Amino acid sequence: MDEKAKECLDELYRGMFTNLLLIADSKLRDYHLSEDVVQDTFVAAEKHIEKLMSSPNPAGWLCNALKYKIKHEVRSIKRFRMLQEKLEQERLTMGTSYSESLYSVEEIISEDDYSLLSNIYIDGYAIKEVANMLGISYETCKKRVQRAKEKIRKHFG
């Protein structure tokens, strides 16, 4: 990224981060998750810096990117909750214990990945916090979350 692009992105970050965070938090109602979504928005902006800089309205471009990130996150949360409901229904219907129900989810994702998603989407921890708890980098944790969500998406397709 050249110096002009970096300067443009830095200026947008300083000027818009708080407003984007307020928008995300009003939709997601989870401050830590909202922080992650806004950070992801700026990662996307960096990845597509040429499109952002050529936009007649870079602030609008970021707002649209945030809108799509929020929609993606809401879908991910719904999928995870569907998985939880399915497990609970199976547990009640078949009279299985929670650990036996987890065995069936391991066909979709590992117990560690289920715990990871549960920490984020149920317990409300930010990806950064979960990464610190697990002693892994933010990027590694984020990638594990993405892979687990992808497995769930494919299973429930």
The pLDDT tens digits of the residues spanning 56-72 come to 999 999 999 999 999 98
Most confident of 38-42, 78-82, 126-130: 38-42
The pLDDT, as a whole number, for residue 104 is: 59
Condensed to tens digits (0 to 9), the pLDDT of residues 41-57 reads 999 999 999 999 999 99
- Residue 10 above 90 pLDDT? yes
Tokens 């443009």 sit on residue: 8
Q: And the tokens for 10? A: 């830095």
The pLDDT, as a whole number, for residue 146 is: 85
CA distance 39 to 73: 13
Sort residue 137 into left (φ over 0), alpha (ψ -120 to 50) or beta. beta
Q: How far are the Cα atoms of 1, 34, 43, 129 from residue 110, in angstroms, in the given order?
A: 38, 26, 28, 20
For 152, half-sphere exposure in the C-beta direction (CA atoms, 13 angstrom radius) is 24
CA distance 41 to 45: 6
In the chain the first and final C-alpha atoms are separated, in Å, by 37
